A and B are shown apart, each in its own frame.
Chain A
Amino acid sequence: MTVSAGTTRRYSNATYRTLRRVKTAGLYAGVAAVLVYMLFPYYWAIVSSTKTGQALYQFTLLPALDFSNYRQLFDNPVFMGALVNSGVVALVSTAVSLVIGILAAYALGRLHFPPGRIVLIAVLMISVFPQVVVLSGMFEVIGWLGLYNRPSALIVSYLILTLPFTTWILTSFIRDLPNELEEAALIDGCSRLRILTHVLLPLMGPAIASTGLLSFILAWNEFLFALTFILTDENRTVPVAIGLLTGSSRYEYPFGQIMAASVTVTLPLLVLVLIFQRKIVAGLTSGAVKG
């Protein structure tokens, strides 16, 4: 800020201080604007979810603390069932992906294995497949397995989303672990599986937590497969339940209910994201930036 075209101008100390103050104020104003932009809609959803009747259409920024929307929601067996379905489907597909992904990541990241590069590229390509491309073939596979209209159909089909993702990120994590421990174990005559489970796995805790969490979010939020492979309300996941929620007419939209449902579905994710934020950022960026 002191230089223009090679000539250096000098300011007095007081001017410097004022300049710095203006800059700091600008920085905080910018950060505040970003926070309002990013967070206000969710805050407004919370506010709206605690209003009913006329209050819902009033422009008051504070929540009305009327929880009847939530009470109605939790008394609704279809919504509660959808919550359970979403949780089970996301948990199981994440667990399966983690187990398979850890095994694969060890082979790809640690063993001397020339075809590994091709496998990794294939994995990356699968992770950018448009889902609709596999829809008809997947439909058939689900039919063969006899899983149509069952939540387990989603566990199978979500592997196409979560497995390439976990494999890719865990491979880049496992590459960064130090070699020495493993060599010592190898000399002691440990098997590869034992090395993975007893030497590397304890070191991978944080990586597994962040990868698992991201994969859970991916599965929890999925919409296309959940909409297509599930026919009846009691087997649906929450995003689809909310997506299909409509009032009896266009003008009778149960917005208070929808906002309560939206807040409820998002809350567990937000708590997890805020707790694990550092690890999530590391997980999100490690594959992309290093890769």
Chain B
Amino acid sequence: MNAARRMERQQRRTAWIFLLPLLLTLMAVAIWPLARSIFFSFTDAYLDAPSDYGFVGIENFVEVAEDPVFWGAVRNTLVFTLVSVGLETLLGLAIALLLHRAFLGRGIVRAAILIPWAMPMVVSARIWEWMLNDQFGLINKLLVALGLVEKGVAWTADPSLILGTVIFIDVWVTTPFMVLLILAGLQLIPEEIYEAADVSGVPQWKRFWSITLPLATPAIGVAILFRTLDALRMFDLSYVLAANNENTMTMSIYARDQLISFQDLGLGAAASTWVFMIIGLIAIVIVGLLRLDRATG
């Protein structure tokens, strides 16, 4: 046996040792709990006595699928994700293009826009709840002063407005993340391409359309993927603003409700397995779309 192969084998053994803590921990906090959740979804267990269960086949899955409240939550989550990620991508791209230019104090501005993102979501929800308060909120006072409305709008109480309000707050919170990722993508574009475009007199809009956008697409794509998966599991914002309001209930809130509020371990596990499958499917579709873009572009 030659020395190189011996060394490679030794490296592999060392690698396993270094990875062991990671693998064991992830087993304990991720893989095993996931497996148990899926297991429970086929049982009639209750949270107060989880060891006392019988198998019920796919009954729980059927029950969740027949619950209109669940589909309402799915619809809310999808609308929220689509509109929120869409808006913050456009807004993020616009702000990133602006901050990509050289100006005095760019570093400070870049740090400052991180602030909404670094706050706990609960805090953002509370601050906006206060600003949007129907009687004393700043936004309503402004709107009344400008003569746009006659009296304060109940942004967080009106069933037809509340999902829009949730989306608005989420866009405010997560746009900084989008800006940073897109900015990083913009910085990877070599300056020479723009110089060449300058020399051959390519107009400004065309430069954006045929240089900036295509070259920033991989970064934007990754940012959209991350944000989409994050938005699909949204819990805290809706929960704090309107705990069990069916107009803003997300899939995660529905699943947790079954599990904790109604103590129905089997049904809650089935609901969360549904959530897992729905999000997995969407993730596969998005990854597929990104690949497609890369292959054709």
Contacts and interface: CB of A to CB of B under 8 A. Distances in A.
A binds B: yes
B130 A27 contact: no
Find the residue from B11, B29, B95, B230 having the highest chain A CB count within 10 A: B29
A116 B15 contact: yes
Contacts of A57: 136
Contacts of A2: 201
A220 to B, nearest CB: 7
Interface in A119-177: 119, 122-123, 126, 128-141, 143, 156-157, 159-160, 163-164, 167
Interface in B17-31: 18-19, 21-23, 25-26, 28-31
A255 B14 contact: no
B274 to A, nearest CB: 10
Interface in B236-272: 236, 239-240, 251-252, 255-256, 259-260, 265, 268-269, 272
Contacts of A73: none
A48 B133 CA distance: 13
B252 A132 contact: yes
Contact of A107 (B18, B35, B226): B18
A112 B35 CA distance: 31
Contact of B122 (A56, A228, A243): A243
A30 B98 contact: yes
Contacts of A119: 19, 22-23
Give the interface size bracket for A toward B: 35 or more
B119 A141 contact: no
Given A56-B136, A270-B115, A284-B177, A289 B184 contact: yes
A136 B259 contact: yes
A187 interface: no
B56 to A, nearest CB: 15
A104 B116 contact: no
Interface stretch (B104-112, B159-167, B288-296): B104-112
B235 to A, nearest CB: 5
B30 A126 contact: yes
Nearest to B229: A128
B114 interface: yes
Interface in A97-117: 99-101, 103-104, 106-108, 111-113, 116
Contacts of B175: 38
Nearest to B252: A132
B79 interface: no
B120 A132 contact: no
Nearest to A163: B25
Given A27-B103, A259-B127, A289 B219 contact: yes
Contacts of B213: none
B50 interface: yes
A113 B12 contact: yes
Given A133-B34, A223-B122, A242-B123, A38 B113 contact: yes
Contact of A223 (B18, B95, B235): B235
Contact of A160 (B29, B133, B279): B29
A207 interface: no
Interface in B23-75: 23, 25-26, 28-37, 40, 47, 50
The 10 closest A-B pairs by CB, nearest first: A137-B33, A137-B36, A277-B111, A130-B233, A285-B184, A107-B18, A104-B22, A223-B236, A113-B15, A134-B33
Interface of B: 8, 11-12, 14-16, 18-19, 21-23, 25-26, 28-37, 40, 47, 50, 95, 98-99, 101, 103, 107, 109-116, 118-128, 130-131, 133, 136, 138, 141, 172, 175-177, 180-181, 183-185, 188, 201-204, 218-219, 222-223, 226, 229-230, 232-233, 235-236, 239-240, 251-252, 255-256, 259-260, 265, 268-269, 272-273, 275-276, 279, 283
Interface of A: 1-4, 6, 8, 24, 27-28, 30-31, 34-35, 37-39, 41-42, 44-45, 48, 56-57, 59, 99-101, 103-104, 106-108, 111-113, 116, 119, 122-123, 126, 128-141, 143, 156-157, 159-160, 163-164, 167, 192, 217, 220-221, 223-224, 227-228, 238-240, 242-243, 253, 255, 258-259, 262, 265-266, 269-270, 273-274, 277-278, 280-281, 284-285, 288-289, 291
20 contacts: A44-B138, A100-B25, A104-B22, A112-B8, A131-B235, A132-B233, A133-B276, A135-B33, A136-B268, A137-B40, A138-B33, A141-B28, A164-B30, A192-B14, A223-B122, A243-B125, A243-B239, A259-B127, A285-B181, A291-B222
